[in-house]
Amino acid sequence: MKLSQQQIKQIDNYLIKLKVKFVDVRLELIDHLASDFEQSDKQGLLEDYLKSKIKFIQDFVKQRQKTIHWSYQKQMWQRLFMFFYKPTYLPFTIIMGLGLYWLQKIQPNKTSIFVLIISLVILHFWSLVGSYGHYKTFKKLQIAQPLYAIMALPSLFLYTMGAAKPLLENPYFFIAFWFLAILFNVAGAIELYNKKNKILDYSNTMV
């Protein structure tokens, strides 16, 4: 039995009623539920079938969210490690490392800490602005939500500045902190822009 467009719409409306708000998740669920119902020998109403699948739908949404979130986090860490072994990234890492090594001759002071904060803020907001223009698209897709987690992790360096201030007075810790903070933010920005482009391509076919 092949479902009609009206029945497909009925499944979509039912998922919306269950507060499955992301379009891509609903499309995956519609495909699964429609195929399962068509292949089953159930003679009952589609509505009765959907009611029997509430637990499955809820579990699917939770698992989908968790899978995407950790997948993106893992990919960002992998991007960070690329700065230490990938030929295309190594020159940036070496140049930045040498520059910061030279800076260690200057004792950390208010000016150098201010420059560190500004450099992190610029990188963070560059990433933020890059995704903001597509917010209407991103908020419709579950696959886009981890982009904000990608931006949040590098920005933690900004929030730890106060707690780390005594340690930042040590020139070696200061340079190490700056080095890792910049790499985290650059890795996050690269991952963000790569994901953004893929998601926009994906949304053109899904939404």
Contact 61, 20 (CB under 8 A): yes
Confidence category of residue 59, pLDDT binned at 50, 70, 90: very high
Residue 127: its pLDDT value, please? 67
Find, among 132, 144, 136, the residue nearest to 202 by Cα. Answer: 144
Q: String of b and e for 110-133 (b: at least 16 CB within 10 Å)? A: eebbeebeeebeebbeebeeebee
Q: Is the pLDDT of residue 41 over 70?
A: no
pLDDT, one tens digit per residue, over 132-147 is: 667 777 778 888 877 7
Q: How far apart are CA 55 and CA 84, in angstroms?
A: 45
Query: Residue 104: pLDDT above 70?
Result: no
Q: Where are the beta strands (DSSP E) in the chain?
A: none
* 207, pLDDT greater than 60: no
Share of the chain above pLDDT 70, in %: 80
- Per-residue pLDDT tens over the stretch 13-37: 999 999 998 888 998 999 999 888 8
Average pLDDT over residues 163-184: 77
Q: Output the six-digit token pair for 117.
A: 């904060």
| Predicted pLDDT of residue 199 | 80
Least confident of 6-15, 120-129, 134-143, 187-196: 120-129
pTM of the model: 0.69
